[in-house]
Structure 1
Amino acid sequence: MNRLCKSLKVFQFAVAAGLAAGLSMAASADPAKPDIARGQAIASQVCAACHGADGNSAGGAYPKLAGQHAEYLVKQLRDFKPQGGKPPLRNNLIMAGFAAVLSDQDMINVTAWFSSQTPKPGFAHDVKTVALGQTIWRGGIADKGVPACAACHGPTGQGIPIQYPRLSGQWSEYVVAQLNAFQQGTRNNSDPMRQIAHRMSDDEIKAVADYAAGLH
């Protein structure tokens, strides 16, 4: 926690001072065009402590961002911010602090950097649940109204830009935590996922998360 707070304070100071590294809050002339060099600077100074400089985090407490769809990542960063006087759709105090000091252009830049990086492969670890995880991923759980994960995230977990994230190789612990967050109401930025998570048991969530970790 101290390391995260220190990183946030350093970034906020850098923005205020207008350092030459390019962490500027001002939008460029073309706000839709990413500046990957600036994105790399933000990633190395702010995000690397948790997500790794190239987006390959060291463990399941933090998601892998390498190779993730940039548009999806931008949406997630915006969802950590309060909107229209309402609480943020994703309740995470640490990420709320980081997102608060990022302009839209900063978000576009840093997510473009992470999207351009190569994700390291993951692995399924529990041989006893692979069959169940595969069944849920490919066919869902019919009697509970749970659709196949592959319908949105793709047969190999590559996802669909803007709408659905890449889950291939993602840490299973992180996927479990997010499904639990949808269940508990601390993540409210996807009604379909909220409904799906509520219909799944803990064992089903763990099985499909572990299966997704091993997708390539």
Structure 2
Amino acid sequence: MNKPFVFAALLSVSAAMAAPGALAAGDASAGKEKSSTCVACHGADGNSANPEWPKLAGQHPDYLVKQLKEFKAGERENQTMAPMAAPLSEQDMQDLAAYYAAQQIQYGEADPDLVELGEQIYRGGNKASGVSACMACHGPAGKGNPAANFPALAGQHATYTGIQLKAFRSSARANDYGSMMRNVAARMTDAEIKAVASYIQGLR
């Protein structure tokens, strides 16, 4: 493991923890009632069938609220999600987040041919290129860090994760705290992105 790069990533956690975030206090039952328009893409239980659309099940509620707020404000650009988030109130967002956070994610499987590189990047980063270890912020089991509002990753579709990493790399997605994800992804190759996304899909 590239310990210096794990440590370097850990140093950035304190800054992110100081950043303001939503304190989700939603009603999961109300969220279920409000989720009818979400179901078509994200599934009734938050496990989307299309690998290009994220699984929401088991995600930290504050992270979900943050994303919905930023879709609504245009701080995270997405032509599908912007109109979906536009009519949502703060309470709607909190209720939806509480509902999806309470669901159980359905884990996937990693491509055996990509596990070695994926695990290397996730757990140790790449010392030569300056890629920090993913687990420094997202945890060894991919459960994230709710105190710092770092999302859970374990079981997420590899396709979706790959799309997001490339969006961070190009700065098409720029709603990360202190450019943390953009700085990491900018140093990643396509092969590293594909491998770590696959590894995350099978992580549990």
Distance across 2 between alignment mates of 1:138 and 1:32: 30
* Corresponding residue of 2:145: 160
Cα distance change on mapping 1:143 and 1:96 into 2, 3 Å: same
- The runs of at least 4 aligned residues of structure 1 exceeding 6 Å deviation read none
Q: Does 1:98 align with 2:89?
A: no
Q: Does 1:177 align with 2:163?
A: yes
Q: Does 1:138 align with 2:113?
A: no
Q: Does the 8 Å CA contact 2:25/2:98 hold for their aligned counterparts?
A: no
* Corresponding residue of 2:186: 198
Secondary structure of the corresponding residue to residue 72 of structure 2: coil
Structure 1 residue 198: Cα displacement:
0.8
Letter in 1 for 2:200: A
Structure 1 residue 42: Cα displacement:
1.4
* Corresponding residue of 1:16: none
Structure 1 residue 41: Cα displacement:
1.0
Distance across 2 between alignment mates of 1:135 and 1:62: 26
Secondary structure of the corresponding residue to residue 122 of structure 2: helix
Distance across 1 between alignment mates of 2:160 and 2:187: 19
Relative to the length of structure 2, the TM-score reads 0.84
Q: Does the 8 Å CA contact 2:24/2:97 hold for their aligned counterparts?
A: no
Q: How many residues align?
A: 179
Structure 1 residue 59: Cα displacement:
2.4
Ranges in structure 1 where 5+ consecutive residues have no aligned partner: 1-30, 83-87
- Counterpart of 1:68 (choices 43, 47, 59) is 59
Cα distance change on mapping 1:32 and 1:111 into 2, 3 Å: closer
Cα distance change on mapping 1:209 and 1:104 into 2, 3 Å: same
Relative to the length of structure 1, the TM-score reads 0.80
Q: Percent identity?
A: 50
* Corresponding residue of 2:26: 34
Structure 1 residue 32: Cα displacement:
5.8
Distance across 2 between alignment mates of 1:188 and 1:32: 22
Distance across 1 between alignment mates of 2:95 and 2:75: 22
Cα distance change on mapping 1:123 and 1:32 into 2, 3 Å: closer
